[in-house]
Amino acid sequence: MKISTLTPLLAAMMIGACGGDSADTPDASSMPAMSADEQAIAEVAEYWVTHYNMGHPGMVASVYADESWFLAANGRLSEGPAGHEAALGENADASPQIEITPGDEMIFGDVAIGWGTYEMSLSPEGADPISYGGTYMNRLQKIDGDWKIVGALANLTDDPFEGFEFTSPEGEPGPDDETMLDLQNAFETHFNLGHPSMVADFYTEDAMSSFTRGGPTHGRAAISDRLTELMEENPSNIEIHGLGTDEVGDGWAISGGWFAQSPKDGGDPVAMGGFMNLLQQQDDGSWQIHWAVSNGWPADGM
C-alpha cells in the first residue's frame, strides 16, 4: 500500500491553527488582545482545519491565492487552488485528521509568516492506522483585503513510514537569486568543511530550525549540536540555490530555495530538498537565519 503524503501535509500550511485539549487553553481574559490581522489569520486557520477534517477539499482550497504553491515533505509540488483541491482529495478515503500546534508568527503589513508543528492520522480501509508528524513554515498575504496562503513547505519529524512515496518537483527550478549569495556561500563552505559551530553562527541566538528530520531545534547552541549529529550521520557536501528573497521591512526578509547533497568523494547528488527562511539583518548589514524549515528526498525520487 502506498499513501500520498501531499494531501495530509497540505494541512501543515496554516498559521495560528489550534489543536489539543481545550483544558490546556489559557483563559481568554489573560491573553493579549489580538490585532484585526491576527484575528483574520486565526479565522482562516480555523476555517482550514475545520473543513479539512470534515473532508471538504474545495472549501479548504478557497483560502489559497491564485499563484500559491506548496512543497510537501515527499518532494511533490502543488500549485494554485485547483492543484491544492486535487491534492487535498487524494486521501479522502483514509479519513485524514490533523491537529496543528502553532509555533510563532510575525506580520509585516500585508505579509505574514509563521511556523508550527502538526500531527496527522490516516485510517486507510483494510490497513492499520497511520500517524505521523512534522514541521511547517508558511507565508500568507493580504489580497484585496483577505488573507490568503501564498507559499508553504513541510517536512517529517521521523523517518518515512512504510508506503511513503517520494517524488520530485516537475520542471526546472527558476534562476538563482543572488540576494543572499554571501550567506549561502558561507553556509555552504563551512557545512562542506564540517564546521557545525561556524554554520550555527549564521543563525540568530534564539533561532528555530527544523531540518529534514528531528523536529524544531531552538537556539544557536542546540542547532550547532544538531548540525554535528547530521554531519556525523550523513557526511556530504551541500549546494544551495536561492530562488527568491523579499525584504518585508524593519530588517526582516523571507527567502526560499532548494539544495542538493552529494557524497564527500564527489558524484551525482544523492538527496535534494527545499527550504524557507525568515532572515534578520544585523547591525553590520549581514543577514542571519531566524526561522528555517527544510525538507528532503532522494535525488532519484525513489
| Residues 21, 27, 32, 33, Cα dihedral to 10° | 90
DSSP 176: P
The least confident of 58-62, 108-112, 174-178 is: 174-178
**Alpha carbon distance 12, 100 (integer Å):** 7
What confidence tens digit (pLDDT) does each residue in 119-167 have?
A: 999 998 888 999 999 999 999 999 999 999 999 999 999 998 887 888 7
Q: Residue written as cell 543577514? A: 287
The predicted model scores a pTM of 0.89
Least confident residue range of 17-21, 23-27, 284-288:
17-21
> Under a CB-based contact definition with an 8 Å cutoff, are residues 132 and 161 in contact?
yes
pLDDT at 186 over 80: yes
Q: Which of 15-19, 240-244, 277-281 has the lowest mean pLDDT?
A: 15-19
Look at 50-59, 74-83, 162-171, 236-245 and tell me which has the smallest mean pLDDT. Answer: 162-171
Task: Kindly report which listed range (24-38, 134-148, 157-171, 247-261) carries the lowest average pLDDT score.
Answer: 24-38
Note the pLDDT of residue 62: 95
Tell me the CA end-to-end span of the chain in Å, nearest whole number.
15
The pLDDT mean for the chain works out to 88
Average pLDDT over residues 76-99: 89
Please compute the mean of the pLDDT values over residues 34-57 and round it to a whole number. Answer: 93
pLDDT at residue 20, rounded to an integer: 42
Cα-based distances in Å from 60 to 74, 84, 127: 21, 9, 27
Maximal C-alpha separation, the chain: 60
- AA identity, residue 106: M
With a cut of 90, say whether residue 10 has pLDDT above it. Answer: no
Cell numbers describing residue 218: 531552538
Residue range 172-200: average pLDDT? Answer: 94
Give 63's pLDDT tier (boundaries 50, 70, 90).
very high
Cα torsion 244, 300, 185, 282: sign: positive
Residue 22's pLDDT is 41
